[in-house]
């Protein structure tokens, strides 16, 4: 299989590229990434010389480049996005540009290049916010996005589905819950709190810390995506979840415990605007149709994740010092390889 992965220098995309190259040594992967602040080629340093892997620096808004890359691709796996809710509250424009217009552009080129198989990576946040006793989100839950981030992802989901119905583009969509694991940019809750403790800083909990998220190890997410692109039913949506609902306070206490710190390191700060109360995902369809369920328990996954950040202080240092941006710049200048 030849895959075009967009946003492969980010957290989930880079884990997915590692997953594919390890599991399918014959598969070929092209990673198209614009290297925004969230794109980090350090995540892929160990596969850089793999002949089946190729990095292309570029934007999903660049139609000419996409046209060139799409050639003999078997499947597009679309991760590229602006992904941080807090940033979408401060500046929504880039979220619409990449998540909505960028996805539309990609769909258009996939359609014009012989209707490529297209898998769209989305989020559970498009379904809105649950009350304590509400049933978990599933494939039939109506859309109710409440942040500029989730509104832009919801728009992209609708566009992807519209290309299936209108143009018969062979699409699938997955809506996944909160991921954690290696290579996550330290602005998201888990890596932010782990790395803050490593730097002797306090942990800012928004509001009361009672908001709930459903946590999934990124490797389990990669497994789920792999099953969908190989065996998923065209035109269908799949909900992916971790079966591990935790309050932010529970997560914080677990990290404090694993790292040997006490509660004095917590600092309560004003709440996020429009802060969604609870997410939870019913992944029955994934299990029934594709035999998938999370393999990594939260207990094991969080322990390994804390250990990974401790063992990879140098990776963290390239981010904190801004060196990872220089590395991307070098790559653009010296190693940038375009497809002939
Ligand atoms: P991330 O922010 O770590 O990575 C995003 C990547 O996309 C970066 O490498 C960035 O450089 C690239 N990118 C941004 N704009 C681009 C553009 N215009 N053209 C090309 N590349 C561009 O994000 P992530 O956490 O890895 O999330 C990946 C996908 O999964 C997103 O679509 C996100 O909505 C979705 N998702 C994330 C989670 C989560 O918990 N992180 C959960 C469910 C779904
Ligand atoms: O400093 C913090 N303090 C805090 O209390 C941060 C960064 C977060 N939080 C809270 C807000 C949320 O309730 O922790 C929870 C998780 O926050 P984020 O890591 O920002 O994730 P979330 O807003 O839930 O969105 C994530 O999951 C779904 C990803 O960023 C999205 O890309 C994905 O679609």
Query: Burial level of 337, CB count in 10 A (0-12/13-18/19+)?
Result: exposed
pTM: 0.97
In residues, how long is the chain? Answer: 340
Residue 32 lies in a domain: yes
Per the DSSP assignment, residues forming a β-bridge with 78 are: 6, 120
Residue 156 lies in a domain: yes
If one counts the domains in the chain, the total is 1
**Helix (H) or strand (E) segment spanning residue 340:** none
Residue 192 lies in a domain: no
Residue 190 lies in a domain: no
Tokens of 303: 């322990």
Residue 304 clears pLDDT 70, i.e. is over it: yes
Residue 327 clears pLDDT 90, i.e. is over it: no
Residue 255 lies in a domain: no
pLDDT at residue 288 in the model: 98
Candidates 38, 27, 37, 36; CA nearest to 4 is 27
Residue 115 lies in a domain: yes
Task: Report the atom number in ligand 2 closest to the C-alpha of 248.
Answer: 14
Residue 333 lies in a domain: yes
Contact yes or no for 75/36 (Cβ under 8 A): no
Alpha-carbon distance 223 to 305, whole Å? Answer: 18
CATH number of 230's domain: 3.40.50.720
Tell me the backbone φ, ψ of residue 6, rounded to 5 degrees.
Answer: -95, 145
Residue 132 lies in a domain: yes
| CA angle at 10 for the pair 51 and 58, rounded to the nearest 5° | 65
- 48-96: per-residue pLDDT in tens? 999 999 999 999 999 999 999 999 999 999 999 999 999 999 999 999 9
Give the domain range for residue 91.
2-177+216-241+278-295+322-337
Residue 333 clears pLDDT 70, i.e. is over it: no
Residue 337 clears pLDDT 70, i.e. is over it: no
| Ligand 1 pocket residues where CB is under 6 Å | 6-7, 9-13, 33-36, 38-39, 59-61, 79-81, 83, 98, 102, 121, 123, 153, 176, 178-179, 185
Ligand 1 mean position to 79 CA, how many Å?
5
pLDDT at residue 339 in the model: 40
């Amino acid at each position: 299989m030849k895959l075009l992965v967009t946003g492969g220098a980010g957290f989930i995309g880079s884990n997915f590229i590692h997953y594919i190259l390890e599991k399918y040594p014959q598969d070929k992967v092209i990673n198209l990434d614009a290297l925004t602040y969230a794109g980090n080629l350090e995540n892929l340093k160990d596969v850089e010389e793999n002949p089946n892997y190729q990095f292309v620096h570029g934007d999903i808004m660049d139609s000419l480049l996409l046209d060139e890359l799409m050639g003999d691709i078997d499947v597009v796996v679309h991760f590229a996005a602006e992904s941080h809710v807090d940033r979408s509250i401060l500046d929504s424009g880039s979220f619409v540009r990449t998540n909505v217009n960028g996805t539309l552009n990609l769909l258009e080129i996939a359609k014009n290049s012989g209707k490529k198989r297209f898998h769209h990576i989305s989020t559970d946040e498009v379904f809105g916010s649950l009350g304590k006793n509400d049933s978990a989100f599933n494939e039939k839950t109506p859309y109710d996005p409440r942040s500029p981030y989730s509104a832009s992802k919801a728009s992209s989901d609708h566009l992807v589905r519209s290309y299936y119905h209108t143009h018969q583009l062979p699409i699938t969509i997955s809506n996944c819950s909160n991921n954690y694991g290696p290579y996550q940019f330290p602005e998201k809750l888990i890596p932010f709190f782990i790395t803050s403790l490593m730097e002797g800083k306090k942990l800012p909990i928004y509001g009361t810390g009672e908001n709930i998220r459903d946590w999934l190890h990124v490797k389990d997410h990669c497994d789920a995506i792999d099953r969908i692109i190989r065996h998923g039913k065209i035109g269908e949506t799949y909900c992916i979840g971790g079966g591990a609902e935790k309050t932010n306070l529970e997560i914080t206490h677990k990290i404090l415990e694993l790292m040997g710190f006490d509660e004095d390191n917590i600092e309560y700060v004003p709440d996020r605007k429009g802060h969604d109360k609870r997410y939870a995902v019913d992944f029955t369809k994934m299990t029934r149709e594709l035999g998938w369920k999370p393999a990594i328990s939260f207990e094991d996954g969080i322990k390994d994740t804390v250990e990974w950040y401790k063992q990879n202080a140098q990776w963290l240092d390239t981010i904190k010092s801004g060196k990872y941006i220089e590395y991307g710049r070098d790559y653009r200048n010296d190693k940038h390889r375009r497809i002939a």
